[in-house]
Amino acid sequence: MWHWLSGIFLADRSRPTAHERLRAEAGARRSIADMAPSPPSRPAAEAAAGAEGSPPDPVDDRAFVCWLLDMPDPIDEPLRANEVTVLTMLDAQLSMQRSAAELLPRAPAVIPQLMSVLRQDDGSLAALAERVSKDLVLVAEVMRMARSAWYRGQGEIPDLAHAISTIGVAGLRSAIAKVVLRPLFDPGCGELSQRAAARLWAHSEQKAGHCSRLIAVAGGDPFDGYLAGLMHNAGWTVALRAADRNGGLQWPWSTAFVDELLARRDPLFGRIVGDWQITGALTELAAQALGAGLQSSGSVLARMLLAADRQASVELLEQPTAAPEYERDAIVDELAPAAS
């Protein structure tokens, strides 16, 4: 499937649950999509100021974890023994500076493909259309992207050539990156990883789109924003696999454990992405995640990533169906007879 790519390139009902609190908040919060760059001339300072607000508070982050794993609200109690074991495992992985290949075993098969995308000369759209047409899943993703709300108003998209012309080379690189990186979020055999896989990927897709548009408005590289949003949840993948290796954890979790897991997500992301050395901006972002933390960073990419992360959480907790993935699957089914 990927041979041709080498050439071009995650209680108590008397009071509102954490889920309900975040859903209620979603209606009152201004959408980051309103800051998206439909008019590219919008001043970068305005977009940066709009995304700068306070970082997500612990209650909101706990609501995300509950949604991600479809689990009951955590209870207010100290860490349990098996929770301490999982956290100790994660801390060991961080302090031992284990490679990304050890933390995410699929990475050696995936990242070279992504690096090939970054090294590829743009070429003509006609040539790209010919190459993309050899992979049905990628064709479906490109068609879905071209027909999405972001490109609404560009006219009908009857075929692949029109789709590629609509999204351009930058959109095509994003589509390929998403298809290439998807295996990093495969659930494996652990219970927690399997529970989270579909929702974690849906959240990553939403976050990547928001981060790409926000960073473009702020004058940065939208592809860096897209990659940052798509890879940010890799820290969750590593954390959940560690919990699965410990034999799982009893519901409900303690609030202390949820908060400690949340505190380790970004450092784990930093450890993984820093090893990959994909782009200068992503390597710098990884160093910030491993150092003072993304919330303390003054970089535009870090601020936009956190804003995109927040918005993706609000949207998906309000409507948890992973629509983009279903749309792509429907296009695959539609195209399959023609390809056979």
Determine the Cα–Cα distance for residues 130 and 145; give it in Å rounded to an integer: 18
Residue whose C-alpha is closest to residue 278's, from 326, 327, 238, 226: 226
Q: Count H helices and E strands in the chain, helices first.
A: 17, 0
The count of domains in the chain is 1
- N residues, the chain: 340
pLDDT in tens, 287-317: 999 999 999 988 999 999 999 999 999 999 8
In the structure encoding, which two tokens stand for residue 120, read together?
């590829």
> What does each C-alpha distance from 31 to 25, 44, 151 come to in angstroms?
11, 17, 18
> What letter does residue 246 receive in the DSSP assignment?
T
Residue 300, domain extent:
51-108+187-339
Residue 75: helix, strand or coil by DSSP?
A: strand
145 is a domain residue: no
Determine the Cα–Cα distance for residues 338 and 133; give it in Å rounded to an integer: 12
Question: Which pLDDT value is given to residue 2?
Answer: 36
Residue whose C-alpha is closest to residue 198's, from 73, 58, 67, 18: 67
Contacts of 2 (CB under 8 A, 6+ apart): 113, 180
**Percent over 70 (pLDDT), the chain:** 65
pTM over 0.75: no
Cα end-to-end span (Å), the chain: 15
CB 5 within 8 A of CB 284: no
280 is a domain residue: yes
180 is a domain residue: no
pLDDT in tens, 2-31: 333 333 332 333 444 554 454 444 444 333
Q: How far is CA 238 from the centre of its chain?
A: 14
Mean pLDDT of the chain: 75
117 is a domain residue: no
157 is a domain residue: no
Asked whether the bond before 78 is cis by omega within 30 degrees of 0, the reply is no
pLDDT in tens, 36-82: 333 333 333 344 444 544 444 433 799 999 999 999 999 999 999 99
pLDDT in tens, 155-203: 788 888 888 888 887 787 788 888 878 877 877 778 999 999 999 999 9
20 is a domain residue: no
CA 335, 338, 340 angle in degrees (round to 5)? 110
Determine the Cα–Cα distance for residues 307 and 32; give it in Å rounded to an integer: 8
Determine the Cα–Cα distance for residues 53 and 56; give it in Å rounded to an integer: 9
31 is a domain residue: no
User: Which of residues 229 and 139 earns the better pLDDT score?
Assistant: 229
Alpha helices, DSSP H, located in the chain: 5-8, 18-28, 44-51, 58-69, 81-95, 100-103, 107-119, 125-132, 136-146, 160-181, 191-217, 222-231, 234-245, 255-276, 280-290, 300-318, 323-339
316 is a domain residue: yes
